[in-house]
Each structure stands twice: as C-alpha cells, then as structure tokens.
Amino acid sequence: MDTRQLTLGNEAIARGLLENGCAVATSYPGTPASEILASVAALQRKYGLTLHTQWAVNEKIAFEIAYAAAISGLRASVSMKQVGLNVASDPLMSAAYMGTKGGFVVVSADDPGPHSSQTEQDSRLMAMMAKIPVLDPDSPAQAREMTALAYELSEAFNIPVMLRPTTRVCHSRQDIDAKEILPRPSVPDFEKDPTRWAATPKFRYQLHKELEEKLAQIAAYEQTAPIRLNPDAGGGKAIVVSGVAAAHAKDILRDLGLWADMPLWQVRQPWPLHTDFTAHLLADYDEILVIEETVGVIEMQLADRNKVRGKQDHTVPRVGELHPETVQEIIARFAGVPFEKTELPAVPGRRPTLCAGCPHRASFYAIRKAAPKGIYTSDIGCYTLGLNLGAVDTVLCMGAAISQGAGFYHAYKHQEKRPDVVATMGDSTFFHAGIPALIDTVVQKVKFVLVILDNRTTAMTGSQPTPTTGLGATGEPLNTVDIEALVRGCGVEYCKTGNPYDIKEFITLMREAVAYSREHGPAVVISRYPCLLDRRQKENQAPPVTVAVNDDCDGCGYCIKHFECPALVMDEAAEKVHVDAMLCSGCGVCVHVCPKHCIEEVKPA
C-alpha cells in the first residue's frame, strides 16, 4: 500500500536503502548525517526486517564492517558526515581498487555553511581522489531515488558509490511516496580471491588499471547522465547545476522568466562527469555558468576558462552555502536581466552555551580551579562549548585533545616554568580516536591530565549509544566496555573517577591529578554523570535541588562569568542575580560557585 508521507531527507535516504535491500547498515553519528542510521533502525523495528544495523566506534570501523558485507555479495551502506569520511579515507581508497560484489553505498553528508563542522570540505573531492562515482541529490525525494541508482551503479561496475547529500537535503522535509518496505532474503557468498581481496602491490597495479577502465565506462553510463530540465529552451548560454543549487535554480529561472530561454542542465553524477556531456557543452554553448556547492568539481572537469563561469572567476562564491537569494543574483547577472536584490534582515547571533545543569560545566569549573594557568586542549562534542568558560584553548579534530596535549607538553618540557596541560574529551570521542593517542602519552611519559567527560551517551548528535551504554542501534542489549579498565590497560597508572556534581570533591580530585601529572606522567580523571537530555539515564540522575539567590547578592556577576549557567540571570534593575526556575535543572552546583555564598539551597519546608 502506497502512502504520501512528509519525510526528512535523512529518513528518505534510510527508506531508499531499505527499499533496495540493504542488508548491513553502519554509521558513526555526526551532523548532518546522524538521522540516517537512526531512521534505518526505526524502519527495521517497524517492518521486522532482518539486517545488521550498527553504530560503530568510528567511521573507519563502520566502513570496514559494511564493506565486508558488500564483498560477500550483500547490499550494504555506511553513513557519516564529511569530516568522518576523513577517518574512513584509508579503507575508502583501497575499496575503490578492490571493488565490490554486492551494492555498496557510502553516504557522506556535507555541511556547507558550516553549521556544525570543523570544515566546509566537499566530499566529491574525496570521491575524485578515491576514484569512485558520486551522486549529488537536490532534495529528499531525489536522495531516496538516488540510493536505488547508487546500488544499480555499484553493482553494474562492482565499485563503491558515494551519495553526497548536503545539510539542506538531509534536514529539509518533502512529501514522498512511502512504499511498504518488504523483507528481501539475501544470502552472503564470499568467494576467496587473495589476488583481489588481499592484493599485494603487484596486483594493486592491475586493480588500478581496471579501476581506470571502470571510470571511463561510468562516464558514459546512461542511467546517471545529466538531465536537461527545460528541453525547449535555446540560446548560447547554459546553466549547469548540481545538488541543492539545482533545486534553487529550477524555481529561480521561472521567477526570472528565463525558463524558456536559458538551458538548464542538472548533473546527478558530478564525478566522473559524463564525457559526451562535457563535449556537448563546450561545443554548443558560448558561455556556461556552473553553480555547485562547495568546490568547483564540475567546473574543473569542464576546464575552459574562456567559456565557463563559476568559482574560478568568482562568479559563484567559494565559501558558504548557496542560498536562494545568492543563486538568484548569480543567474540574473549571468543572463543580464534585472532583478530585485533580496535583503534579508540581520538576525543577531546567539552565543552557544552548555545546557543548564550540564555536568560538563561543573567539570570545566573544577579544571580551571585546579590548573588556573594551564593549557586546555579539547575535542569535538558538546564540551567544545567549554571555550565560553575559558577551559578550552584548542579544538582540532576527533581525538586531537590528547595528541595536542602531548604536543604542548613536548613544546614546553625544557622550559623552567612548564604550564599544566589538561585535555578534555567525551566518552564517545575517547572510544572513537582517543585510545591510540593515550597509549602514545604513556610511552612518551607525557605529564598531562586527561579528563574523560563520561555522560554515558553521544550527546551532541542525538544520544546515540556508546560502548558503555549496553544498547545497540535498535535498542537491542549488547555488552559494555569498562572505561577505567581500558584506561589502565593502556598503561595509565593514575585513573580515578569522580562525580562533577559533587563539585568540592571533584575540585580536590582534579588538584590531586594535576599534582600527580607534574611529577609522574599521564593522569586520567573520568568525570561521570549522565547527560540530562538522555531519557534512558533518568533513573541515574540525582534528585533536583532547589536554589535561590539571597539578599546579600551585590550583582558582582562572578557566577555568570565563571559558571555561565543559562539559569543564572542578571537582573539589571535590581542589580543582583536571580535563578530562572524555568531553566534551572536543580543540579545545585552553583551553590558552591558564588564566593560570597549568595546562592543557597532551599530546603523543603
């Protein structure tokens, strides 16, 4: 039975994967891709499907698990955000050479803007480097359709295929035809062939030659060829679009009255660009405008500076999203038609901050107390917002808090006054990329403190499970990993756990760890308290504490500056702080923050 359904882009991709028989789906969470696997798991439960669905500890492992299924003849997928593809790049490059048997879709969601990422990198460039085809959807509906196309392409050429949605595709909603998902029996059949699956350099050379031959054929594959969206339009100028820019351009050409006069081509497969299409464009048009996010991947394959307009000549911005008003201006100028420039009202930005009652805030407060002149390295997650508390000096990439902490130690170790170094990272990030770096600090006797902010979940991306959660993607029970045992197994001799809500005790623990690290080497403190937003952990949270500000408050603002809890608000008229009861979570930590003891616990009458 078919039903129309308003569907999130990531849900549409998940539906497309399952409609087309995906048997193994893996991921590591990261915005804007996180909802893909979560939606796969939800559909799996709804339809009682037999498939393996897994949140892996990082993208590399997620890729390798799914790839093994693909070379066993099953249809498989792995999803991640664009910076996660960097982590998975090692197996990606080799998988392109060795190829696949079953269809293998690599979903790498890009974040032009960037809204929630370290970089604006374009995954299509990674596809070019890996030498695998990439498909670029313009909408949730097309993203769903392209999963089917990706599987067909993958199996036609025995090659991984990348699907590259962007934030606006992942997080927009569209009415789609939601067909019933039916179970598809699939039987794995791994055929041993060491010259392919365990190829030595001699055979890799042969595999590279075969890959180049595949790419030449894919550049002529009719099913993924560019589409002429307005076949009746003529003229010497043409516009070439891909991704979200295609969705914008369709509307804008109509709005500007150019639909019948300006040929519009949508490229669905930006790499490899179809050979005949390239020849046709350069031969038949005097000027070609290419609009694409984020890098000029199509433009560089056209490579004619005299005819092609785009990012190379700054006709199209090289940085940031291509909003509709931007695309409108680009097209109007290219066509030489008048247009009314859209001026959007300036909206004041809101400084991001940790949630009221977030245990990380208490941890950062304690770190500042224990090592007030330290260097604070941190990592990717909610705790990046510790920079507002002056407790985060660096954020580079997943796992770098420990490596950078080691780097600062080595940089300063011969100085007479060596600063304390305190690194912070979440439990999920520790499993993702922290363990090898921690082992390195043990071997190198790095004198620093690592604080693992263990809130028992992957909070920033939507509370996906970690290896300590004991639950899988569909809620199935799994084994757990003991972080303390893991840390000690890495060779760390000082490893203690504390509750950041017990702020006095936790500050004492932090001071002890800093003192230990100055003399002996790495010290690890596990700051453990569940994320307040994780419903699974409600029973593990302490009863709320009611607090109030007494009349001795003189409005010095110390609590707001050094603790920055959203529930503590300066009343400018009264020249004192008050507690916003709507925001206060009742953690009670602020009682210990005011140096003048003006914040008090209110005991029940």
Same-domain status, 86 and 178: yes
Burial, 270: exposed, middle or buried (Cβ in 10 Å; 0-12, 13-18, 19+)?
Answer: buried
Residue at which a domain ends, from 303, 335, 367: 335
> Are both 218 and 229 inside the same structural domain?
no
Residue 330 has pLDDT above 80, yes or no: yes
8-state DSSP, 419: P
Q: For 342-387, what is each residue's pLDDT tens digit?
A: 777 777 777 788 999 999 999 999 999 999 999 999 999 999 999 9
Q: Are residues 26 and 124 in the same domain?
A: yes
299-303 long-range CB contacts below 8 Å, 24 or more apart? 301/271, 301/272, 301/273, 302/240, 302/273, 302/278
pLDDT at 413 (0 to 100): 95
Q: Calculate Rg over the CA atoms of the chain.
A: 27
Query: Would you state the pLDDT for residue 341?
Result: 83
Same structural domain for residues 89 and 135? yes
Q: What is the DSSP string of 237-300?
A: EEEEE-THHHHHHHHHHHHTT-TTTS-EEE-S--BSPPHHHHHHHHHH-SEEEEE-SSS-HHHH
pLDDT of residue 2: 57
Claim to verify: residue 156 and residue 273 sit in the same structural domain: no
Q: Is 170 annotated as a binding residue?
A: no
Yes or no: say if 60 and 495 are a contact pair by the CB < 8 Å rule: no
- Please report where in the chains the tokens 């990993």 appear, as a residue: 481
Tell whether 443 and 503 lie within a shared domain. yes
- Shared domain for 246 and 172, answered yes or no, is no
Residue 1 has pLDDT above 70, yes or no: no
Going by C-beta distance under 8 Å and a sequence separation of 6 or more, which residues neighbour residue 224? 133, 135, 149, 153, 218, 268, 269, 274
Q: State whether 314 and 433 are in the same domain.
A: no
Q: Judge whether 409 lies within some domain.
A: yes
What average pLDDT does this structure show over 252-265?
96
Q: Which among 205, 222, 239 is the end of a domain? A: 222
- What pLDDT sits at residue 541? 84
pLDDT, averaged across the chain = 94
- pLDDT for res 537: 79
Per the domain annotation, does 285 fall within a domain?
Answer: yes
355 among annotated binding-site residues = no
> Could you report the per-residue pLDDT of 127-152, keeping only the tens digit for each?
999 999 999 999 999 999 999 999 99
High-pLDDT (> 70) share of the chain, %: 100
Q: What's the whole-model pTM score?
A: 0.92
Position with higher pLDDT, 405 vs 4:
405
**For residue 126, what pLDDT band results from cuts at 50, 70 and 90?**
very high
In-domain check, residue 376: yes
Per-residue pLDDT, averaged over 114-122, amounts to 90
Residue 587 among known ligand-binding residues = yes
In a domain, residue 345? The reply is no
**Any domain includes 347:** no
Domain extent, residue 562, equals 547-601
Q: How confident is the model at residue 3, as a pLDDT? A: 80
340 vs 318, more confident: 318
The answer as to whether 399 is a domain residue is yes
577 phi/psi in degrees, rounded to 5: -90, 145
Distance, in Å, from the CA atom of 465 to the CA atom of 37, rounded to the nearest integer, reads 12
Classify residue 34: in a domain, yes or no. yes
- For residue 542, the model assigns a pLDDT of 87
- Model confidence pLDDT, tens digit, residues 28-61: 999 999 999 999 999 999 999 999 999 999 999 9
Both 206 and 239 in a single domain? no
* Domains in the chain, number: 4
Locate 42 and state its tokens. 């939800």
Q: What is the domain-level CATH number for residue 253? A: 3.40.50.920
Rounded to the nearest 10 degrees, the angle between the axes of helix 9-19 and helix 35-47 is 50
Q: Which of 451, 453, 248, 422 is nearest to 342 (CA)?
A: 248
Question: What is the predicted pLDDT for the residue at 118?
Answer: 87
Is 397 known to sit in a ligand binding site?
Answer: no
What are the structure tokens assigned to 456, written together? 């028992």
Is 351 inside a domain boundary?
no
Looking at the structure, tell me whether residues 520 and 579 fall in a common domain.
Answer: no
358 belongs to an annotated ligand binding site: no
Residues 45 and 168 in one domain: yes
What distances in angstroms separate CA 235 from CA 186, 540, 593, one per listed residue? 51, 68, 70
Q: Which domain CATH number covers 574?
A: 3.30.70.20
Q: Residue 514's domain is classified under what CATH number?
A: 3.40.50.970
Among 499, 516, 540, the domain-final residue is 540
Q: Quick one: 180 and 239 in the same domain?
A: no
Percent of the chain at pLDDT > 90 equals: 88
Q: Is 598 annotated as a binding residue?
A: no
Which residues does residue 601 pair with via DSSP β-bridges, in sequence order? 547
CB 517 within 8 A of CB 449: yes
